[in-house]
Amino acid sequence: MKKPGKITKPSNKCIYNECDGSGMIHYRREDGTEAMTFCKCREQRQLLNSIKTARIPKEYHHKSLEDFNVNHYQSKDAIKHAKYAQKVASGFIKSFETMNDMGKGLYIYSKTKGTGKTLLSIIIIYELMMKYQINPLYISVVNILSELKCLWQTKNVVFGS
């Protein structure tokens, strides 16, 4: 009987050097039967695909709540608001399933440009993808309006009655 162990030849196509780049590891069990298991690189690839599908801009990939630095703000008032926004974002992530079941979401708004709305939004998306394996979509208001305008022009769509 052949000895148990990994049959798949590791390759540099796998970021963990565990499989041949396919995301699957072929191995032999103690009883001689053969089986397949998922490699860690498959999960990593799926996450990267989810990030691309979610339209998350490259500069925001892999951001977390720790990347939202409230000390970036100058005034005490701005720091206070940033800490509150961070706390609300964290609470939303923790209670996402309950909020989602109730049909509730989160709206991030500020009259001031450059306050961290985009960063915080994408952090929330990324955290939800990691924690709940959801497939979100990031899109700015400007892009939504642009897509609606294109849809209106190309399809001659009528909104309302």
Summarised one tens digit per residue, pLDDT across range 106-132 is 988 888 888 889 899 999 988 898 888
Q: Would you say residue 161 has pLDDT above 60?
A: no
Query: Average per-residue pLDDT in the chain?
Result: 87
Instruction: Mark whether 29 and 78 lie in a shared domain.
Output: no
Instruction: Mark whether 82 and 126 lie in a shared domain.
Output: yes
Q: Does residue 161 sit within a domain?
A: no
> Residue 34 belongs to what domain range?
5-43
Q: Please list, in sequence order, all residues whose beta carbon lies within 8 angstroms of the beta carbon of residue 20, skipping any fewer than 6 positions away.
A: 8, 9, 10, 11, 13, 14
Instruction: Mark whether 67 and 135 lie in a shared domain.
Output: yes
**In the prediction, which pLDDT does 18 show?**
92
Number of domains observed in the structure of the chain: 2
Q: Does residue 25 sit within a domain?
A: yes
Q: Does residue 49 sit within a domain?
A: no
Instruction: Mark whether 94 and 139 lie in a shared domain.
Output: yes
Instruction: Mark whether 81 and 127 lie in a shared domain.
Output: yes
